[in-house]
Chain A
Amino acid sequence: MVMRVVFVVVSLFTLVMAFMVVSHPTLFSSALYLVATFLGVAGLYVLLEADFLAVVQVMIYVGAVSILIIFAIMLSRGMMGKRTSSHNRQAKWVALASLLLAILLLYFITVLMRWPAVQAGPVPAGAIQMLGQDLVGRYVVPFEVASVLLLVALVGAIVLAREREI
């Protein structure tokens, strides 16, 4: 019972924050709401007893991704504090379409779909060790290749941002 209340509260928090991200007129505030959304998602992970994922979520999304986003916003001049409308003239229709889509999706997800009921067992002890072993075992190729991806991004960022030698 308590868990259910907590779940509802955390989910509502996440949803409201997510809504604020797209609706707030100030770009910087949107980014801050994004942080709150990420924290809400981390809370959901905690409720699912995925502590490790929750911590990683906070570390990567709050600690790295959001800060980079905010930094980018701060560095692009003209964005600071300026109230830029995030809507154009079609806002009404988009809102209507999103609402319809949301209702449709809810209908599909809750009524039409036959979700197989999975009995959630307790989280096995040493789940992190298993995760680590999978990363260097079964998923070794995507895991290692992802580091190549990061290297590419690193080289690319330097290529694009480096001052031109004249």
Chain B
Amino acid sequence: MNLLDPQTIAPWFIKVVGSLGLSAFWTQLIWDVIGSVSLVLFAIVSILFIVWLERKFAARVQDRLGPNRVGPYGLLQTIADTIKLLTKEDITPATADRVSYNIAPILAVFSVFMVMVVIPFAKGVSGADLNVGVLYITAVSSLGIMAALMAGWSSDNKYALIGGFRVVAQLLSYEVPMVMAMVSVVLVSGSMSLQKIVGAQAGGRWFFWVMPAVFLLYLTTALAENERTPFDLLEADSEIVAGYHIEYGGIKFAWFFLTFFLNTLFLASFAATFFLGGWRGPFAEQVPILGFVYYFLKTTLVIFFMMWVRATWPRLRIDQMMSFAWKVLVPTSLVLVMITAIILKLGLSPFWETGLLLISNLAVILVVLGFLGRALRLGIERPKRRVVA
């Protein structure tokens, strides 16, 4: 086994366990179980850290100290909170629909964990390199919507129900431009497999440089899909208290909490994978273990961006949010997909192809910003006109 190359771990393990006299089937099964458990553990441990990070970061932005009592720099605060949540009484409202009420949090977490399978952590290292990876991500994440809907309905609470409505309206609306952004990436890289998408970004040709407009589009929709400010209407405290999980407490609430941050993690790692070259970096090919480091660095960068937005931006109104999705993002994403497809169809040399993609993306950004600016100015003027009339 070469410790620097994680790809060699699996064959080494299978050889070692196989020499103990177990059949190939059981060896594979044990290896799969170990793999899944470590994936899940990795995710949960990172969440503990991310939650702490977010609280600390938001505190700094708002000129506070943030958690600082439990452990050094408050590092153990999240663990304490988790223990508190896990030991709380498990409550089910009397009028709730028991089955859906209890299944919803499980389904929510389940759907995000399933997404983990396809993340490429390093060269040749991912749970399963599906050749329909991107499609799989979209399919599985739609289960999350289902979970939120179930939670909202089964709680038998008006606020929860409105939260459920908002989930469907927002997540479905923003899923369209998000998938379109992914389609652009798939078009350029020529594959839906995430490892191959990372592979297509060799030589520093990160898609971030090639398609900045698509990257921005993806980031915006990721904020919305993650129910983060400025799109956090699903749980807008001042409007619907907490949204679809208002009736949940204790461990069941912990599941939803976990789902939220897992979503952050995964959306950020997909941003890193699709646009920032995934595990790519200096010497990542030669020393594959470095891939983990690059992957984490890039993901954390994106997460930081999301936290920054959350800590500083106000919330959109629901009609603004919907019209932003359907009148700005969806047309933009369609235009981007068409531009990308046409440029790829021209059959240019890689240099010109990249250049043309970059230029057209920048042009799209300029045009969209121009339109947005004009719409904003008009929007500010409109009430005046009405008064005159």
The answer to whether any beta carbons of A and B sit under 8 Å apart in the complex is: yes
Residues of A at the B interface (CB closer than 8 Å) are: 26, 28-29, 32, 35, 51-52, 55-56, 58-59, 62-64, 66-67, 70-71, 74, 80-81, 128
Chain B residues closer than 8 Å to A55, beta-carbon distance: 132, 135-136, 139
B97 touching A63 by the CB < 8 A rule? no
The 6 closest A-B pairs by CB, nearest first: A63-B142, A59-B139, A58-B139, A55-B139, A55-B135, A55-B132
Q: For the complex, what is the distance from the CA of A51 to the CA of B192, rounded to whole Å?
A: 13
| Cβ contact of A59, chosen from B99, B135, B150, B168, cutoff 8 A | B135
Q: Are B146 and A62 in contact (CB under 8 A)?
A: yes
B130, B132, B139, B145 — which one has the most chain A CB atoms within 10 A of its CB? B139
A62 CA to B136 CA, complexed, in Å: 13
- B143 is an interface residue with CB less than 8 A from chain A: yes
**A24 to nearest B CB, angstroms?**
10
B: residues with CB less than 8 A from A are 97, 99-100, 130-132, 135-136, 138-140, 142-143, 145-146, 149-150, 153, 156, 161, 164-165, 168, 172, 192
A-B contact pairs, 7 of them (CB 8 A): A26-B97, A35-B146, A51-B132, A55-B136, A56-B135, A63-B142, A63-B143
Is chain B's interface secondary structure helix, strand, loop, or mixed overall? helix
Number of interchain pairs (Cβ within 8 Å)? 65
- Choose among A32, A51, A62 the residue that contacts B100 (Cβ–Cβ < 8 A): A32
Is there an interface contact between A67 and B153, defined as CB atoms closer than 8 Å?
no
Contact B142 A29 (CB under 8 A): no
When chains A and B are docked, how far (Å) is the Cα of A74 from the Cα of B132? Answer: 33
CB–CB B138/A59 < 8 A: yes
Contact present for B150 and A52 (CB under 8 Å)? no
On whether the beta carbons of A67 and B172 are closer than 8 Å, the reply is yes
Name the residue on A nearest B150 (C-beta).
A32
A29: contacting residue among B100, B140, B161, CB under 8 A: B100
| Closest-CB distance, A153 to chain B (whole angstroms) | 16
CB distance from A39 to the nearest CB of B (A): 9
Judge whether A128 and B139 touch: CB under 8 Å: no
Give the docked Cα–Cα distance between A81 and B143 (Å): 22
Alpha-carbon gap, A71 to B165, bound state (A): 8
How many whole Å from B166's CB to the nearest CB in chain A? 11
**B residues near A81, Cβ cutoff 8 Å:** 97, 153, 156
Contact B168 A67 (CB under 8 A): yes
On whether the beta carbons of A63 and B132 are closer than 8 Å, the reply is no
Pairwise interchain contact B153-A80, C-beta atoms closer than 8 A: yes
